[in-house]
A and B are shown apart, each in its own frame.
Chain A
């Protein structure tokens, strides 16, 4: 891959960056510096806009290129991923979206703190939210570096470093200047581009096979080198029982983690009512489901048209499957069509990364300023909303700097596990406390604090003790061995622990639950009374 398509891809990158910066400038001129404006974009987005923004926030480059690549290499096992990512939205729709919109203001901690002693709960929930965001952010940054380097052919370290720094700088500019309004519009633009790109490629793949899905599957199986086994599960996760348990653990984390991701929760505050929050989730489920269905076609299409061997030769993880497919569909590497399609895919992937990192940065700066700073600073002097926004802007810069630094340090590590880990921490630390506060009458402050730390600490500790960190040739420290836990993803153990800790913490706490505050949470969450 070299020459024309890279030039064109760079031009499209620049156009996208220019458009997003224009959006940021426009959004920052309209701002009034209030917390409502910065964290929630004024709360007046329509369900459709918010649905696109949620889809734009959620679908990372990992799902566009990664899942299609997994399918191209391992067939059906790649599809298992996308099912988990989609089904997770039912948890969000049924249990979280409307109720959180009704009870909270800007963050996850708002919902819990309304019922509990504010300070310890905010510190706990803020800490776990920032942890989840930073894990997810570093994964995206490292992914961005290797992805852009891969798409543009330059595998040199310098290109990767500059990509990480550039992506980090851009996301800081978007968030600190444009706040939620700019972030939302960037996510909407990205979602439209991503859907458009995916639809175009899917139609081309299906046209190639005359709309015959069956023939697409059999050709894919034939060219994969695995035959019929390619179309069933087991090629990637079918090995030892540890590997199988690991996948179950990951599947659990994916389904339960989405509802605890801070950057997803904060999106519900950008619409005026719970009803609008529900309708935006319905929009986003439609978009996300449609998108994952298309990645299935693209993945099997890449196996059938490009061939699994060819994909593996280009990139062992399969991340180039879609770009190779686009070259082929356009008429080959030297044709105009191939050049254009390739450049579009590269630009869409780049747009995807920028929109996702901006959303995460905004959510974590909200957690830092609204939860941690406001609680840690002083008991007596409440923080003024205006200065809280100033803190949030500075926090965005700080988080950007941390993410760039970690992204550069972790550049050569395999960080694919970080996304799974972020979901596992969200499911173990954020989801139990959120569900208990919304639905359990007897839940107490002590239980809330226990449930956050009781999920967060085991999740992180188990990863440190897992084969990801030590004890195998692929681990971060291959030289040493302090591996005690066999699975890469801690979800299977840490999610039940999070729920258990909240339960034990509540049973052992001395305070009795506040009936009136539970009544208030329940009435507000189901009716929207007093919602901001």
Chain B
């Protein structure tokens, strides 16, 4: 059941971050500019990479160290920052908007019953607004994740798995 128990068994050493030059890095870096607002375009190279070639014989490193190393790498921090910078404001926004809606509907029904056009009142507009904002946020999140996060996350995934291979399991 627990595959982490023998994490000290393997032998993998992390390479120096400076000695990396493979075409994947270029492809990775050039993928960023897809959004206009994409701040620092070339994401820093993750430290944890390419060490597998060093193979056995080098000083031992456990899977725990590898995950810590990856967590501290600029590339991972960038993925995490991008995720949080979208999700935190979006969560606050929809949650406040929803709670405001429910509280207004229960505490101030007179306000909600004010007519807007024909039989449509404020409550109806607010309700449809909740549907609309949900659809809009869903679309925005999916787009943000696809353009800003997926590629870098996938790179990191393969790199981390490359490093932990032979250490775990």
Q: A233: CB under 8 A from chain B?
A: yes
Q: Interface majority SS on B: helix, strand, loop or mixed? A: helix
Chain B residues within 8 Å of A383, by CB: 1
Q: A289: CB under 8 A from chain B?
A: yes
Chain A residues within 8 Å of B68, by CB: 515-516, 519
Complex Cα gap A140–B60 (Å): 55
Complex Cα gap A497–B106 (Å): 23
Chain A residues within 8 Å of B79, by CB: 526-527
CB < 8 Å neighbour of A232 from B90, B113, B134, B161: B113
Q: A293: CB under 8 A from chain B?
A: yes
Kindly provide the distance from the CB of A97 to the nearest chain B CB, expressed in whole angstroms.
10
Q: A282: CB under 8 A from chain B?
A: yes
B106 with A87: CB separation less than 8 A: no
A292 with B107: CB separation less than 8 A: no
Q: Interface majority SS on A: helix, strand, loop or mixed? A: helix
B164 with A221: CB separation less than 8 A: no
B134 with A87: CB separation less than 8 A: yes
Q: A89: CB under 8 A from chain B?
A: yes
Number of residue pairs spanning A and B whose beta carbons lie under 8 angstroms apart: 172
Mask, B69-90, CB within 8 Å of A = 1, is 0110000100110010001001
Chain A, interface size category, equals: 35 or more
A530 with B160: CB separation less than 8 A: yes
Q: With A293-B131, A530-B161 in contact, do A248 and B76 touch (Cβ < 8 Å)?
A: no
Mask, A506-529, CB within 8 Å of B = 1, is 000000000111011011101111
B63 with A520: CB separation less than 8 A: yes
CB < 8 Å neighbour of B141 from A76, A94, A218, A523: A94
Mask, B96-113, CB within 8 Å of A = 1, is 001101110111010011
Residue in chain A with minimal CB distance to B162: A529
Residue in chain A with minimal CB distance to B65: A516
Interface centre among A83, A91, A279, A523 (most CB of B within 10 A): A523
Q: With A519-B71, A520-B64, A530-B168 in contact, do A94 and B90 touch (Cβ < 8 Å)?
A: yes
Complex Cα gap A530–B76 (Å): 15
Q: B43: CB under 8 A from chain A?
A: no
Residue in chain B with minimal CB distance to A237: B106
Residue in chain A with minimal CB distance to B158: A529
Chain A residues within 8 Å of B124, by CB: 76, 217, 231
* CB-contacts of A203-258 with B (<8 A): 214, 217-218, 221, 228-229, 231-234, 237-238, 244-245, 247-248, 251-252, 255
Complex Cα gap A251–B2 (Å): 39
Complex Cα gap A530–B161 (Å): 6
Complex Cα gap A184–B33 (Å): 39
Q: With A233-B106, A523-B71 in contact, do A217 and B120 touch (Cβ < 8 Å)?
A: yes
Interchain residue pairs with CB less than 8 A apart (14): A214-B117, A221-B119, A231-B119, A231-B123, A244-B107, A252-B102, A275-B150, A289-B134, A293-B131, A516-B67, A523-B70, A523-B156, A523-B160, A527-B76
A interface list, Cβ under 8 A from B: 76-77, 79-80, 83-84, 86-87, 89-91, 93-95, 98, 118, 214, 217-218, 221, 228-229, 231-234, 237-238, 244-245, 247-248, 251-252, 255, 275, 278-279, 281-282, 285-286, 289, 292-293, 296, 374, 382-383, 515-517, 519-520, 522-524, 526-531
Q: A217-B118, A229-B113, A526-B79 are in contact. List 13 more A-B contacts (CB 8 A).
A: A83-B101, A87-B130, A94-B87, A214-B119, A221-B119, A231-B121, A231-B123, A233-B123, A519-B64, A519-B71, A520-B63, A527-B70, A527-B153
